[in-house]
């Protein structure tokens, strides 16, 4: 019989990575060699680029990473693979798809439960100060599980519950493991790092018309859609949602960093984001970015900064008009046409806006017919398809996250989620004002305060944009970036609540 103390020491050992990493690297090199020999040069190039950039980032944070436990190694691997989802290395097992994110998440839970049992069934959660948010997620999960009793489409319900469990798992482990500011800083840079990886894939799609197999536009015959970027997401709307949630991370990095080369690099990333977002044609995410900048302008920037940014934007626009007049007016004209179509198409049934309006009406029909308890996890599509009185052209996805929750889970979960979402925004805004006040008192010379301010500001603005960004996709239940954003925000909120402001020593 295996001694549990020996197993526990092996898992807990900081030198465990010294065994795992070489094996992982050898397997990765062998896989890359296989891709090259088979002629999959694009995937080979992307993966090699990821390794090179990843090695550089590891070198920057190696002093923090080298002492990480095996459980945290699995946690970071889960977060990284969550961004990619099923885009790479997917193995089909009947109707079930196995890909790295699911492997890492299951491994993370297995090791966590094993560690929990070896500790005698005792779990120290005294450092978790966001229990009200986690209790709601638990309530939501059990409510979804109970809804199996009345959900008509059991398969859709189980699939929805799995998505809810994986998203909730990301949030729980982020809150549980991320206790230090330097770890949250790594999370922040990891988000930007993912964008860096997606940009060459997006340009490859734009220039060649090819797409990864995960994309709904893979081998499409429609010329209009052939060159629209989706990268590792299923469709342009999902990619646009990720871009809208990413803008605040880039903008706040520009605001709080003074090194010119870094600012130039991040400004170029922002330009690529704007370009990709424009090409996706996702009007909901256009509005999300507009809301984000309005929120920044009204509630974040002081008067001096507002004037500076207005003058800077005016000069940039003037320069573009002078240097590139035709492309500038062509792009802005097209953008205004797309935005104006939102209100021009209201009441016209066969348009995208008309169909979305009828989808909302059908979801409300399903909600009221369920006596306010919801039709069951993931069953609103089944209800719309079979009972919806309003025409939707065969489309059954609600295309609105808020009405999807209401119709699926009922009034209690919906009300709880609203408290969850707006409560998180209010808490972050309240703490941001405190951080800003201390930043002024220290004359912005405290490196830790500056980092807290940057992270809190980016999360706050990104969450504000999510309100509109969440209605761009057919559904965001399975969209990893929304769960990762919530996980990051709650991890930061938990970090801030557990520390005495200005006293924690945390080397950055």
> Cα(first)–Cα(last) distance of the chain, in Å?
44
Q: Are residues 96 and 110 in the same domain?
A: yes
Last residue of a domain, one of 74, 103, 123: 123
Of 26 and 366, more confident: 366
Least confident range of 65-69, 425-429, 474-478: 65-69
- Predicted pLDDT at 64: 46
- Do the domain assignments include residue 356? yes
Q: pLDDT-based confidence at 499, cuts 50/70/90?
A: confident
Q: Are residues 401 and 463 in the same domain?
A: yes
Percentage with pLDDT > 70 across the chain: 79
Q: pLDDT-based confidence at 146, cuts 50/70/90?
A: very high
- Predicted pLDDT at 2: 47
pLDDT digits (tens, 9 = 90+) for 102-140: 888 888 888 888 777 777 777 788 889 999 999 999 999
Last residue of a domain, one of 64, 88, 123: 123
pLDDT higher than threshold 50 for residue 66: no
Highest mean pLDDT (candidates 103-107, 347-351, 434-438, 489-493) = 489-493
Q: Are residues 231 and 350 in the same domain?
A: yes
- Predicted pLDDT at 432: 94
Q: Are residues 144 and 271 in the same domain?
A: yes
- Do the domain assignments include residue 327? no
Of 173 and 474, more confident: 173
User: How large is the greatest C-alpha to C-alpha distance in the chain, in angstroms?
Assistant: 78
How many domains does the structure of the chain reveal?
Answer: 2
- Do the domain assignments include residue 211? yes
Q: pLDDT-based confidence at 501, cuts 50/70/90?
A: very low
* Burial of 323 per CB tally in 10 Å (0-12, 13-18, 19+): exposed
Distance of CA 362 to the CA centre of its chain: 28
Q: Are residues 375 and 232 in the same domain?
A: yes
Calculate ∠ Cα 503-453-490, nearest 5°: 85
- Do the domain assignments include residue 444? yes
pLDDT digits (tens, 9 = 90+) for 161-217: 999 999 999 999 999 999 899 999 999 999 999 999 899 999 999 988 888 888 888
Cα separation, 461 vs 466, in Å, equals 9
At residue 397, the 3 state secondary structure works out as coil
- Predicted pLDDT at 333: 72
Q: Is the separation of the CB atoms in 417 and 405 below 8 Å? A: yes
pLDDT higher than threshold 60 for residue 507: no
Cα separation, 327 vs 508, in Å, equals 43
Distance of CA 246 to the CA centre of its chain: 8
Percentage with pLDDT > 90 across the chain: 44
Q: pLDDT-based confidence at 70, cuts 50/70/90?
A: confident
Helices (H), 281-400: 283-295, 303-323, 325-344, 352-369, 380-387
Q: Are residues 139 and 49 in the same domain?
A: no
Q: Are residues 8 and 112 in the same domain?
A: yes
Q: Are residues 200 and 105 in the same domain?
A: no
Q: Which range marks the domain in which residue 261 is found?
A: 125-300+345-508
For residue 488, how many other CB atoms are within 10 A of its CB? 26
- Do the domain assignments include residue 315? no
**Secondary-structure percent of the chain, ordered helix, strand, coil, rounded to 5:** 75, 0, 25
Distance of CA 391 to the CA centre of its chain: 32
Of 70 and 246, more confident: 246
| Dihedral of the alpha carbons of 228, 229, 232, 233, in degrees to the nearest 10 | -50
- Do the domain assignments include residue 317? no
Last residue of a domain, one of 104, 123, 142: 123
pLDDT digits (tens, 9 = 90+) for 297-347: 999 888 888 888 888 888 888 887 888 777 777 777 766 776 666 665 565
At residue 97, the 3 state secondary structure works out as strand
Q: Are residues 408 and 264 in the same domain?
A: yes
Q: Are residues 276 and 146 in the same domain?
A: yes
- Do the domain assignments include residue 336? no
Q: Are residues 109 and 156 in the same domain?
A: no
Q: Are residues 166 and 224 in the same domain?
A: yes
- Do the domain assignments include residue 324? no
pLDDT digits (tens, 9 = 90+) for 254-278: 988 888 888 899 999 999 999 999 9
For residue 12, how many other CB atoms are within 10 A of its CB? 13
């Amino acid at each position: 019989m295996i001694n549990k103390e020996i197993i526990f020491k092996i898992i807990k050992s900081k030198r465990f990575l010294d065994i795992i990493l070489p094996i992982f690297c050898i397997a990765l090199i062998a896989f890359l060699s296989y891709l090259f020999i088979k002629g999959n040069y694009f995937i080979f190039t992307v993966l090699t680029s990821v390794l090179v950039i990843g090695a550089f980032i590891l070198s920057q944070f190696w002093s923090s990473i080298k002492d990480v436990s095996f459980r945290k190694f699995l946690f970071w691997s889960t977060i990284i693979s969550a961004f990619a989802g099923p885009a790479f290395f997917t193995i089909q097992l009947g109707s079930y798809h196995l890909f790295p994110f699911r492997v890492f998440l299951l491994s993370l839970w297995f090791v966590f439960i094993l560690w929990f049992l070896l500790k005698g069934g005792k779990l120290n959660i005294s450092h978790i100060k966001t229990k009200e948010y986690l209790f709601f997620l638990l309530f939501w999960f059990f409510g979804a599980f109970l809804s199996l009793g009345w959900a008509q489409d059991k398969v859709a319900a189980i699939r929805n519950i799995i998505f809810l469990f994986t998203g909730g798992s990301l949030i729980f482990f982020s809150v549980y493991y991320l206790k230090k500011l330097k770890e949250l800083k790594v999370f922040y840079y990891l988000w930007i790092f993912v964008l860096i990886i997606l940009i060459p894939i997006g340009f490859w799609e734009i220039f060649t018309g090819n797409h990864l197999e995960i994309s709904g536009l893979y081998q499409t015959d429609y010329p209009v859609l052939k060159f629209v970027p989706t990268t590792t997401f299923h469709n342009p709307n999902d990619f646009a949602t990720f871009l809208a949630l990413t803008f605040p991370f880039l903008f706040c990095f520009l605001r709080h960093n003074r090194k010119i080369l870094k600012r130039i690099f991040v400004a170029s990333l922002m330009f690529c984001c704007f370009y990709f977002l424009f090409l996706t044609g996702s009007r909901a995410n256009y509005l999300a970015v507009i809301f984000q900048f309005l929120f920044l302008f009204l509630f974040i920037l002081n008067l001096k900064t507002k004037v500076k940014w207005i003058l800077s934007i005016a000069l940039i626009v003037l320069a573009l008009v002078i240097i590139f007049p035709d492309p500038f007016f062509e792009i802005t004209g097209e953008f205004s046409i797309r935005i104006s179509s939102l209100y021009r198409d209201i009441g016209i049934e066969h348009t995208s806006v008309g169909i979305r309006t009828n989808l909302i009406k059908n979801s409300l029909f399903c909600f009221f017919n369920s006596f306010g308890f919801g039709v069951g996890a993931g069953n609103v599509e089944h209800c719309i398809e079979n009972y919806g009185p309003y025409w939707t052209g065969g489309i059954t996805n609600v295309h609105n996250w808020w009405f999807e929750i209401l119709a699926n889970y009922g009034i209690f979960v919906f009300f709880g989620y609203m408290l969850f979402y707006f409560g998180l925004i209010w808490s972050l805004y309240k703490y941001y004002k405190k951080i800003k006040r201390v930043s002024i008192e220290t004359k912005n010379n405290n490196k830790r305060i500056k980092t807290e301010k940057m992270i809190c500001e980016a999360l706050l603005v990104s969450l504000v944009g999510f309100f509109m960004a969440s209605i761009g996709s057919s559904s965001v239940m399975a969209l990893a970036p929304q769960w990762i954003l919530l996980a990051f925000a709650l991890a930061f909120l938990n970090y801030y609540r557990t520390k005495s402001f200005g006293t924690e020593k945390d080397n950055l």
